[in-house]
Amino acid sequence: MPSRLFTTSEIRESFLTYFANKGCVRYPSASLLPENDPTTLFTVAGMSQFKDMFLGRGSHPFTRATTSQKCLRTNDILNVGRTARHHTFFEMLGNFSFNDYFKTEAIHWAWEYLTQVLSLDPSRLSISVHRIDDEAYRIWNQEIGIPPERIFRLGDSDNFWPADAPTQGPEGPGGFCSEIFWDFRTNDDPKDNLTSSTGRFVEIWNLVFPQFNVRKPNGDGSPNLEQLGRTNIDTGMGLERICCVVQGVYNNFDIDLLQSIVREVVRISGQPYDTTVKEGPQAALNVLLRRVSDHVRAITFCVTDGALPGNTGRGYIVRRLIRRATLDIDKLGVSESRLHEIVGAVVAAMADAYPDIAKRQDLVRETLKAEEAAFRRTLRRGLELLGRALERHAGATVFSGDDAFELVTTHGFPKEVIAELVGEKGMTIDEARYTVRWDEHTAISNTKQIEVFTSSALQEAKPRLGATPFQGYDAQPLGTTITLLELGGREVTEAPAGSQVRFALGATPFYAESGGQVADTGLVQGEGFRIRVTDCQKDEGLVIHSGLVEQGPARPGAVTATVDAERRKDITRHHSATHLLHAALGQTLGSHIEQQGSKVESASLRFDFNNPSGMTPAQITQVEDWVNQRIHEGHLVEIKQMPIEEARTLGAKAQFGEKYGTQVRVITMGPETPVSREFCGGCHVQNTREIRAFRIVKEEATAAGIRRITAVAGRAAMALASHEADLAREVADLIGMQSMDDPRLMDALAQTLKVPRKDLAARIQQMQKEMFDLAGRLQVTLITASGSAVERVDHLQAELKRLRRLEESKQAQSAAGSSELLLDRIEEFNGISLLIAQIESADAKGLGMMVESLRSKRASLLLVLASDSGGRATLAVGVTKDLINRGLAAGEIVKQLAESIGGRGGGRPELAQAGVPDASRLGEALAGVKPLVLKLLRG
């Protein structure tokens, strides 16, 4: 009986509902970028976000969960589109138990979901279990009733997750697994079963029973599986695969969701898609169409979650995806940047389940557009370089591994494209050399499947120590205890003076870095010892303090912990100012503004937000004024815990992509008529007046569509303001104004002169000096400035321009004057008029002007002038048009003369110049003029 459920959205929803009814919490998908985990580039499985829960270190208040997880795997990227199953981005449906239900329930529910909810034909399902997992075998066989010929016992590569982890790693939670296969019945070979590679039996669901903490293998290579003492469940079902089964199609790209994207690529490229064709040009088109769809979908999710194209790590992967998609769509005949047009189809197909992609689609489009256009430019250049490299290697059968590596890394050419193009010339890439270069390079940008756990006494003790209560909003000294002292990763009872330690406290007054606010610093003092705290970070609620033992030995036990209160106060001012800035941006630029990240420190703050273009100076001033106004009004800052729904109803601003618990902390500035209201766990002033002052230092782009403001508050702002006041006074003095109180005047002047505010005085001074020097030399009277500051600076610019022009025309006049005298020295030589002369005190420019003015004085004239003024020896040659036809081109003459004495030069046929390193040889060059002319005339 066909299932009632059909579309991908319906199937996703039915899965989550089914497991919610089994008591699983419907938990949101984690971000594609694993949090606090630099060792893993992307989320690769539904379990990633729960690994601590499996180990018993997690802090979620539930023991069952179900998710539809966004995943990205790029290790099989070359197979995408070619096979029926590979993707980069895909969705994994999962249900999880954290030491709650185990194998029996996991297997029964999986079976019930497939056969009852999705109504799949039970006779088309087969099972694999681990060779030694008799329990799973028994449940499938006896409780579910699967006949023995459809249950297969396999080893660690098939039925352990992560595959082969016991002998090859990675470390972390793992266990035996049992997989469920669907028979697509693509052939009728009775011997075909799930162990053959015909593609007929496809794994659709992996039920993992994590009950071990996989450790590095023993010295002899044998597995080192530590019993967790907890029985967990981690299941993963590829959504695209199960949709194939339900929708009766074979290729993942033929399900409704992906087809809607493929159709968009078909529309844009005008190329047909026909999944029934398996070979020839149409099959090649199918691959390209699928791949472009896959990559644009992956890019949309990556950018949405904050992975923007870059040169390392995650950014590099995103960049590669965009480049590969560009090459593919180019092969489909689309030569303009149009990938961004496909984003709409992804949003239409998936925003119901992942609303963030709708909210950030503009950013995705902008990013894709800019990156595709940039790559298309390098592509053109890369093709040229490849062409040249191919010429160099003409006739060879091996293409240099170094050249290939350079093309890949420097020019972003995908290697397989190079392989394809050199293959057309009958060559192959020198793989051995390429691999050597590549291995050196990829150490940083490798994708690891699951992170390796670094062990440390503090991390191990997380379950025992639990979350550290924070008792430091008021920054008062706190009596507490060191509960665990760690030196070099191990727990110790003593750490000597001079050692770097990490430690946990019973309760802490130190704010651990989070929500953009930097960590506190300060002192921890105990009986006979003192630790200077330099950092503190939160690990699943446990606050880990780091510091230097200044006086020792330090020991666990009673201590007084004191936060550096002055620094904290500076941090709170910047944090509260950040909230006001956020509100001001919304007021000034519009309601689309969302916080994209922030950094709150004692000396400054940084705030990233989305906006398609840069801010105008007027907008910056407006934002600054708004914030300062709210500071001066002195609004009370109210801090309240409330249920998340209530906070949302009140319209409190949340950080994009941030996950919050059910109770949230809300900061409201001006409780009567709020000027700002945000979710926030950070430290704040009690009244906005304490912020004292706010100044924006810089506004810039950090990525397509993302702007960053750097600003200062409190002492730093006042220092900046007083520094700026000094500058303004200096500028006022220079231009003869009484005062320049309004900071906007400085902005206006800076704009007029196109320099940053801080360079204004220096620039004005330099202009004035030049003006006075010129006026002195030219003996002219200056016209006095008056009026407003801007008028005065305008006037300064105009005066300078007038004087520069005056000097130029004077120079020209004097060049013309002295050249008249030279006319007497023209001699007749072989039917041409020849002037050879060495001029005193004319620089290169003056010499050029002379040649120019003399050239028109006679017909058939060749001039060769030399000069060595200003430390530079110069030759200048000019000829009249008629002589050019007779073989006397100025460029050629000056080149040969200069080269004869070690110089270089050239120019137009009528007029050319050369620089000469050794002025003492100018005479030599001039002596060579006549022989050269003779030679050229004879041609």
Structure tokens at 359: 């909210």
Q: Residues touching ligand SER: how many (CB under 6 A)?
A: 10
DSSP state of 529: E
Minimum CB separation from ligand SER for residue 210, in Å?
A: 8
Report the residue number, 68 or 271, with the smaller CB distance to ligand SER.
Answer: 68
The SS3 assignment for 648 reads helix
Comparing CB distances to ligand SER, the nearer of 14 and 68 is 68
Closer CB to ligand SER, residue 58 or residue 236?
236
Whole-number minimum distance, CB 207 to ligand SER, in Å? 8
Retrieve residue 57's tokens. 């270190």
Decide: is 45 part of the binding site for ligand SER (CB under 6 A). Answer: yes
x/- site string to ligand SER, residues 898 to 917, per CB under 6 A?
--------------------
Distance of CA 58 to the CA centre of its chain: 30
What is the rounded distance in angstroms from the CA atom of residue 479 to the CA atom of residue 562? 9
Instruction: Report residue 779: phi and psi, to 5°.
Output: 55, 50
Point out which span in 43-51, 137-145, 385-393, 521-529 binds ligand SER (CB under 6 A): 43-51
Residue 601, amino acid? E
Residue number, 235 or 595, with CB nearest to ligand SER: 235
Q: Which is nearer to ligand SER, 236 or 472 (CB)?
A: 236
Closest CA to 201 of 85, 45, 287: 85
CA distances from 21 to 30, 175, 311, 554 (A): 21, 26, 45, 53
Candidates 94, 516, 714, 846: give the one binding ligand SER (CB under 6 A): 94
Nearer to ligand SER, 94 or 516 (CB): 94
Nearest CA to 583 out of 676, 671, 666, 712 is that of 676
Cβ distance to ligand SER smaller for residue 50 or 354: 50
SS3 492: coil
> CB of 237: closest distance to ligand SER in angstroms?
8
Q: How far is the CB of 233 from ligand SER (least distance, A)?
A: 9
- Distance CA(520)–CA(510), nearest Å, equals 5
Least distance from C-beta 256 to ligand SER, angstroms?
24
Identified binder of ligand SER from the candidate list 236, 509, 547, 552, rule CB under 6 A: 236
81 is a contact residue toward ligand SER (CB under 6 A): no
Q: Is 172 in the site for ligand SER (CB under 6 A)?
A: no
A 10 A CB-CB count for 354 gives: 20
The smaller minimum CB distance to ligand SER, of residues 140 and 161, is found at 161
Q: In the bound complex, what is the minimum distance in angstroms from residue 208's beta carbon to ligand SER?
A: 5
- E strands along 680-826, which residues? 694-703, 706-713
Complete DSSP assignment for 143-209: II---GGGEEEE-HHHHEESTTHHHH---EEEEEEEEEEEE---S--TT--TTS-SSSEEEEEEEEE
CB of 581 to ligand SER, least distance (A): 42
Binding-residue pattern over the window 215 to 234 for ligand SER, x denoting contact by CB under 6 A: -------------------x
Among 18, 101, 161, 609, binds ligand SER (CB under 6 A): 161
Q: Can you tell me which residue has the tokens 């379990």?
A: 47
Which contiguous run of DSSP H or E holds residue 128? strand 125-130
Based on CB atoms, which residue is closest to ligand SER, 233 or 265?
A: 233
Question: Nearer to ligand SER by C-beta: 206 or 400?
Answer: 206
What part of residues 184-213 is at the interface with ligand SER (CB under 6 A)?
A: 206, 208
Residue 797, judged by CB atoms within 10 A of its CB (0-12, 13-18, 19+), counts as middle
For residues 647 to 686, the per-residue mask of contacts with ligand SER, x marking binding by CB under 6 A and - elsewhere, is ----------------------------------------
Q: Select from 45-53, 534-542, 610-618, 822-830 the region that touches ligand SER (CB under 6 A).
A: 45-53
Q: Which one of residues 11, 16, 30, 47 is an interface residue with ligand SER (CB under 6 A)?
A: 47
State yes or no: residue 159 binds ligand SER (CB under 6 A): no
b/e sequence 410-432, b meaning 16+ C-beta within 10 Å: ebbbbbebbbebbeeeebebbee
Residue 46 makes contact with ligand SER by CB under 6 A: yes
The 854-883 site mask, x for binding ligand SER (CB under 6 A), equals: ------------------------------
- Closer Cβ to ligand SER, 207 or 327, answer by number: 207
Site for ligand SER in 804-833 (CB under 6 A): none
Which among 560, 575, 389, 584 is positioned nearest to 478, based on CA atoms? 560
DSSP β-ladder status, 861-867 and 873-879: antiparallel
Instruction: State how far the Cα of 648 lies from the Cα of 678, in Å rounded to an integer.
Output: 10
Nearest residue to 140 (alpha-carbon basis) of 101, 113, 87, 103: 103
Contact between 32 and ligand SER by CB under 6 A: the answer reads no
Instruction: Based on the shown chain and the rule CB under 6 A, indicate whether residue 235 belongs to the binding site for ligand SER.
Output: yes
Q: Is 871 exposed, middle or buried, given 0-12, 13-18 or 19+ CB atoms closer than 10 A?
A: exposed
**Antiparallel, parallel or unpaired: β 125-130 and 151-154:** parallel
- Cβ nearer to ligand SER, comparing 203 with 550: 203
State which residue has the least CB distance to ligand SER.
236
> Rounded to the nearest whole angstrom, what is the least distance from the CB of residue 94 to ligand SER in the complex?
5
Judged by beta carbon, residue 211 or residue 508, the one nearer ligand SER is 211
Binding region for ligand SER (CB under 6 A): 45-47, 94, 161, 206, 208, 234-236
